[in-house]
Amino acid sequence: MTTSRRQLLHLGASAAGLMAATSASAAAATGAPAPLYAPRLRPGDTLGLVSPANATFEREPLKMAIESLQALGFKVKPGEFVAARRGPFAGTDAQRAADLNAMFADDSVAGVIAMTGGSGCNRIVDRLDYAQIRRRPKFFGGFSDLTSLVNGIQRQTGLVTFHGPVAVSEWNDYSVQSFRALVMNAEAAVLRNPVVKPSDDLIVREERISTLRGGKAQGRLVGGNLTVLASLAGTPYFPDCRGALLFLEDINEYIYRIDRCLSTLRLTGALGQVAGVVLGRFTKCEPGEGYGSLTLDEVFDDYFGPLNVPVYRGAAIGHIKRKMTVPVGAPAEMDADAGTVRLLQPAVT
HEC readout, 262-290: HHHHHHCCCHHHCCEEEEEEEECCCCCCC
Other Cβ atoms closer than 10 A to 311: 26
Strands 139-142 and 111-114: parallel
Cα distance between residue 24 and residue 144, in whole Å? 29
What's the maximum distance between 2 C-alpha atoms anywhere in the chain? 76
Cα distance between residue 89 and residue 62, in whole Å? 15
23, 51, 68, 144: the active-site residue: 144
Q: Would you call 144 a catalytic residue per the annotation?
A: yes
Cα distance between residue 332 and residue 219, in whole Å? 6
> Could you give the angle at which helices 255-267 and 296-304 cross, rounded to 10 degrees?
10
Burial 142-176 (b: 16+ CB within 10 A, else e): bbbbbbbbbbbbbbbbbbbbbbbbbbbbebeebbb
Q: Would you call 319 a catalytic residue per the annotation?
A: yes
Cα distance between residue 91 and residue 112, in whole Å? 18
Cα distance between residue 121 and residue 149, in whole Å? 7
148, 163, 178, 249: the active-site residue: 249
Q: Would you call 293 a catalytic residue per the annotation?
A: no
Active site residues: 144, 249, 319
